[in-house]
DNA sequence: GCTAATCGTGACCTCAAGTCAGGCCATACA
DNA sequence: TGTATGGCCTGACTTGAGGTCACGATTAGC
């Protein structure tokens, strides 16, 4: 897969700063923009690099010069799409004050709304997660780990600091669990519209969505949340949590 | 994608049972066998239909006659691989007697052993889950739902009947949760060897595997298991539960 | 053995990714 | 302003994989 790793040239031998080359950057951006559209509409395999070039009125070779390969182009498209998403903690202050699980509920509940507003980046992310190939998928995972674009790590720290998450679990594991579960849950909600039949029985999911979100959150809370103080000495909630 | 939907011909108009055609079935099986090998070794995209034909000493066109397309061939390969896996409840009787979570622990613990014994079907399943494209993935999901090849549904029923699983959750949701979580957890264990870098930080996972399995099970038990009866009677029900 | 169907073949087609030699053009400096 | 330099853009070209098809070989049923 040529081009995916690094498509920057070797450093200049003497002075001569390349000087940002505004033309080139602008063009890359235009290409990524158009490619996003095409990938989102046709999927990875059925998107044609030639079509993207035609749509932009440029030569196909030009795209390869900038991105090296179709994979390389898609990788840029994917990164841009994923970076456009909000991070977990980017919520209204009052939601954040309510705590970890309130934040989670906020996002699950607004998923549908967000996707209606702009479905394209979601589709791209779906393609990156399931619709290309293992080599690209590995690259994507490296990216997700190194950039943490959803801010899951700091979100989990937030939950830990507030004493809402168990401290006897690996932080790595909690991050993974959140990423996995939320991703799949959102996929299931979303693909009901974008890709009917992609995940398990989303048919009824649409109706029971509210209930599902509640169930899902309650489950997650039991799984990784601090156990409720109750049962022994009723009252006084959080003051005596260990650590 | 011709061929993936149905590569059986229209039903015969009058009598004339096709009569199983032993030659044809045998050949299909040989092709699937060889294709499995190639897909597992090279991944979906880098596997060449021509190579498979050459390896079998037959014409490429013959493969297309039998399976319609590369996708169609892979789909058969995938189904066979997945069907070769054991179902959840296919465990030694004494494990089964211990109950739902014991069965789960049994499988998680033997994952590594199983994959060493025969890594090929696992690789194929990984390719089907992440490494082809969305159209095929949809087909695969339909298959998984209709066949339930791991027997997750009856496994969950088993847990419910034994009173080990909460009865206030949707059965559909529990099935999905189990499928998702176990799949990802196994992937993380497995790809540490098959595809380093495919999932989050599996580096340390290898060492802490035992501990992770414990953590993971405990988490799942809190999430979907019936709450422990204790807690009313004075002291700590959970801290010495560590299993 | 004869006939009708299926099976198998390999040359052929299509089409999309990817390449590259050459012309274009913007900038840097005289 | 003239000219040299180097990156940018082009589009015709190559490569190679999936997929097709007419025809000959093989088999099953009588």
Same domain? A41 vs A157: no
Which chain B residue shows the shortest CA-CA distance from A198? B138
Domain boundary among B54, B82, B110: B82
Residues B112 and B41 in one domain: no
pLDDT at residue A116, rounded to an integer: 81
| Chain C nucleotides covered by protein, CB below 7 Å | 6-11, 16-21, 26-28
CB contact under 8 A, B176 and A198: no
Same domain? For A189 and A125 the reply is yes
Q: Determine the average pLDDT of the residues in B12-20.
A: 38
For residue A126, what is the enclosing H or E element? helix A120-130
Q: How does residue B2 score in pLDDT terms, banded at 50, 70 and 90?
A: very low
pLDDT, mean of residues B143-160 = 94
pLDDT tens sequence across B123-143: 999 899 887 888 888 889 889
Q: What is the mean pLDDT of residues B27-43?
A: 93
Q: How far apart are the first and last CA of chain B?
A: 50
Residue B95 lies in a domain: yes
Distance B81 CA to C5 C1' (A): 33
| Nearest CB to A141 within list B44, B199, B223 | B199
Question: Which nucleotides of strand D are protein-proximal, with an atom < 7 A from a CB?
Answer: 7-12, 17-22, 27-29
In a domain, B116, yes or no: yes
d(CA A55, CA B136): 28
- Chain A, chain B: beta-carbon pairs less than 8 Å apart: 117
Between these two residues, B206 and B135, which has the higher pLDDT value?
B135
Are B41 and B118 contained in the same domain?
Answer: no
CATH assignment of the domain containing A50: 1.10.10.60
Residues B134 and B155 in one domain: yes
Q: What is the reported pLDDT for B16?
A: 37
Does residue A107 share a domain with residue A59? no
pLDDT of B183 above 80: yes
- Does strand D come within 7 Å of the CB of B61? yes
Residues A167, A219: one domain? yes
3-state SS assignment for residue A69: coil
User: Is the CB atom of residue B187 positioned under 7 angstroms from any atom of strand D?
Assistant: no
What local confidence, expressed as pLDDT, does residue A191 receive? Answer: 66
pLDDT tens-digit series, residues A66-93: 999 999 999 999 999 999 999 999 999 9
Query: CA A3 – C1' C29 distance (Å)?
Result: 34
Mean pLDDT comparison of A103-112, A117-126, A132-141, B95-104, highest-scoring range? B95-104
User: Does any CB of chain B come closer than 8 Å to the CB of residue A128?
Assistant: no
Q: What residues in A contact B222, CB-CB < 8 Å?
A: 222-223
Residue A131 main-chain phi, psi, to 5 deg: -115, 25
pLDDT at position A203, please?
Answer: 52
Which single residue is written with the structure tokens 């939907």?
B5
Q: Which residues contact B40 (CB under 8 A, 6 or more apart)?
A: B119, B120, B123, B124, B127
Residues B178, B70: one domain?
no
Closest CA to B71 of B24, B41, B37, B35: B35
Do B203 and B146 share a structural domain? yes
Asked whether the beta carbons of B132 and B75 are under 8 A apart, the reply is no
A139 in contact with nucleic chain C (CB within 7 A):
no
Position B50 in a domain? yes
- Quote the CA–CA distance of B215 and B148 in Å, as a whole number: 27
Q: Radius of gyration over alpha carbons of chain A, in Å?
A: 22
Residue B142 has what pLDDT? Answer: 87
Please report whether residue B180 resides in a domain. Answer: yes
Instruction: Tell me what pLDDT residue A17 has.
Output: 40
Q: Give the tens place of pLDDT for each residue, A116-135.
A: 888 899 999 989 988 788 88
Strand D closer than 7 A to residue B49 Cβ: yes
Partner-chain contact B197 A131, CB within 8 Å: no
Lowest pLDDT segment from A16-20, A148-152, A199-203? A16-20
Lookup: nucleotide whose C1' is closest to B48 CA: D17
Residue that is written with structure tokens 């176990």 in the block: B182
Rounded to the nearest angstrom, the minimum Cα separation between A133 and chain B is 4
Residue from B173, B202, B227, B240 to probe the interface with A (highest A Cβ count within 10 Å)? B173
Q: B4 in a domain, yes or no? A: no
CB distance B35 to B73 below 8 Å? yes
Residues B225, B121 share a domain:
yes
Residue B3 lies in a domain: no
- pLDDT at position A204 is 56
A64: nearest Cα among A14, A117, A10, A3: A3
pLDDT value at residue A6? 35
Looking at the fold, whether A92 and A133 belong to one and the same domain comes out as: yes
Does any CB of chain A come closer than 8 Å to the CB of residue B138? yes
B141:A216 CB<8 A:
no
Residue A18 lies in a domain: no
pLDDT tens-digit profile of A13-50? 333 344 445 567 788 999 999 999 999 999 999 999 99
Q: If you average pLDDT over residues B204-208, what whole number do you get?
A: 59
How far apart, in whole angstroms, are the C-alpha atoms of residue A145 and residue B198? 10
Total tally of structural domains belonging to chain A? 2
Q: Is the CB of B58 under 7 A from strand C?
A: yes
Domain end among B57, B82, B107: B82
Q: With respect to residue A6, please indicate whether it lies within any of the assigned structural domains.
A: no
Check residue A185 and give its pLDDT: 77
Residue A48 contacts strand D, CB under 7 A: no
Q: How high is the mean pLDDT of chain A?
A: 80
Domain of B69, in residue numbers? 22-82
Q: Write the CA distances from B80 to A54, A103, B33, integer angstroms.
A: 42, 43, 9
Which bin fits B92, alpha (ψ -120 to 50), beta or left (φ > 0)?
beta
Domain harbouring A209, CATH code: 1.10.357
Q: Are residues A45 and A143 both part of a single domain?
A: no
The lowest-confidence range among A53-67, A123-137, B17-31 is: B17-31
**Band of pLDDT at residue B181, cut at 50, 70 and 90:** confident
Protein chain B, residues 137-166, with a C-beta closer than 7 Å to any atom of nucleic acid strand D: none
């Amino acid at each position: 897969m040529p081009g995916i790793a690094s498509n920057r040239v070797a450093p200049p031998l003497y002075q001569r700063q390349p000087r940002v080359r505004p033309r080139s950057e602008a063009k890359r951006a235009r290409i990524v923009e158009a490619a996003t559209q095409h990938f989102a509409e046709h999927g990875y395999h059925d998107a044609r690099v030639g079509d993207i070039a035609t749509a932009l009125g440029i030569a196909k070779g030009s795209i390869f010069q900038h991105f090296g390969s179709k994979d390389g182009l898609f990788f840029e498209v994917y990164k841009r799409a994923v970076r456009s998403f909000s991070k977990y903690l980017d919520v209204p202050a009052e939601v954040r004050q309510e705590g970890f699980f309130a934040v989670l509920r906020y996002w699950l509940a607004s998923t549908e709304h967000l996707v209606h507003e702009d479905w394209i980046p979601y589709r791209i992310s779906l393609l990156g997660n399931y619709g290309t190939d293992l080599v690209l998928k590995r690259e994507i995972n490296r990216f997700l780990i190194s950039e943490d674009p959803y801010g899951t790590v700091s979100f989990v720290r937030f939950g830990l600091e507030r004493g809402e998450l168990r401290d006897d679990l690996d932080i790595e594991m909690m991050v993974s669990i959140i990423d996995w579960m939320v991703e799949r849950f959102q996929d299931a909600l979303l693909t009901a519209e974008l890709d009917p039949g992609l995940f398990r029985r989303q048919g009824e999911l649409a109706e029971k969505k509210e209930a599902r979100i509640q169930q899902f959150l309650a489950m997650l809370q039991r799984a990784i949340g601090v156990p409720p103080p109750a049962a022994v000495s009723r009252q006084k909630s959080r003051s005596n949590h260990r650590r």
